[in-house]
Every structure is written in C-alpha cells, then in structure tokens.
Copies of this chain bind each other. A is one copy, B any other.
Amino acid sequence: MDEKSEQPARTHPGRTGRTPDTSRRSESSRKAILDASMRLVGEVGYNKLTIEAIAARAGVGKQTIYRWWPSKAAVLLDAFTGVVDEESYQQGIPDTGDLAADLKAVLRATVDEFNTPSFEAPYRALAAAGAADPSLSEQFVRRLMEPGRDVYVRRFEAAREAGQMAEDIDAAFATELLLGPFQARWLMRTEPLTYEFADTLVDYVLRGIAPR
C-alpha cells in the first residue's frame, strides 16, 4: 500500500520536509502506536486506556502521540480504520446473482471476525464506550460502522434492480433488518455468533423483503 495513503493527511510527518530516514522512523512509530492502542483497549477497556500506557507499550514518548492525535479516541479510530480491509469495502459484496448465497458468505466471514479475540476485544471496547458517549459513537458509526453497512446497502440495491427485492423497500432498512440482530446478539452476548445464525438471519430477512 502507498505509504502516504495510510497517514492522516494533515499530520503526516513526511510533509514537513524531513529526510526519508526520519519519515521511515515516524512511520514505524505510528504503526507501533496504532498496534499498541488496539491491543491495550482490548485488555483494559476504553475507560482505563491512557495515552501514557499506549506510549509505553509502543516504546515512544507520549508527546509523539499528541503530535499526531488529539485524543485516545482519535488514535483508536485510526487504528481500526487501518485494520479494516479498504479494498474489500471498495469491491463490495460479490454479486453472483444469488443474493442469499452472497449475503451468507459475507455474514459468515463477519462471524469469523467477531469470534477472533484480537479483533473482537478492541472493537467491543470501542462500541461499549460509544454506547455511553454520544460524540464517540458518532465517530464510531461514521468511520467504522457506515463503511461496513454501505457494502450491504449497495448489494441490496443491486438485488432490487434485479427484481429480487420488493420495489418499495429501502436498501438501508433491509441492511438494518439484517445487521441489527447480529449487532444486538454480539453486544449483549445473548447467544453465540454462529454460521447457523448468520444463515437463518439471511433467510428470514430475504423472505421479509421479497417481491410480493
């Protein structure tokens, strides 16, 4: 991946005209900070996470962090934006013509992701903190949830054009019907996230939105 595209544009240390060596060191510090913030928030939760602890884990001074980010929330949001697979977001959900199969494949992949502790723990810490804090949840939703949601919206729109979905249903609402029970089950830990759950969810949502 192009190095510049990974940097927050306004704070890219390379833009100050330093030598390539300095820039490389900055980039490696930046990666260490983002990695440390993800691991730590999964370990101690959002409320107990501090810039000091991130700095210590990353092996940098805390001023290095404050030079690039205004808050721990900003660090974490960049860290998560870095791990999501932007290429897969751009490509969207495959359209094989079989809506159910396409949705099940991507929802099963999400089941795998949410059953992976190194992803799940920090994501949960951020979601739980967002539930309590409106300004954080606004950023969490806009930067992390919406890009993930939009790939479903586009797939539902394609399905409607293919006549596989009722004309009058909003693709964003169809997405909410599908992802809402998944998110609620995950956040409240009411039942485990399984392939069977993903498949059943897809089947019933598609019956609900089928053309009449």
Contact = CB atoms under 8 A, between A and B. Distances in A.
A129 interface: yes
Contacts of A169: 204
Nearest to A47: B47
A138 B190 CA distance: 8
A132 B128 contact: yes
Interface in A13-40: none
A207 B177 CA distance: 12
Interface string A112-143: 00000000000011011111101001101100
Interface stretch (A68-76, A87-95, A155-163, A179-187): A179-187
Nearest to A45: B132
Nearest to A138: B189
B209 A127 contact: no
A-side interface size class:
35 or more
Contact of A124 (B46, B132, B207): B132
A134 B189 contact: yes
Contact of A208 (B138, B140, B188, B208): B208
A63 interface: no
B47 A189 contact: no
A102 interface: no
Contacts of A185: 176, 180
A189 to B, nearest CB: 5
5 nearest A-B pairs in the assembled complex, by CB-CB distance: A180-B181, A208-B208, A128-B131, A128-B132, A180-B184
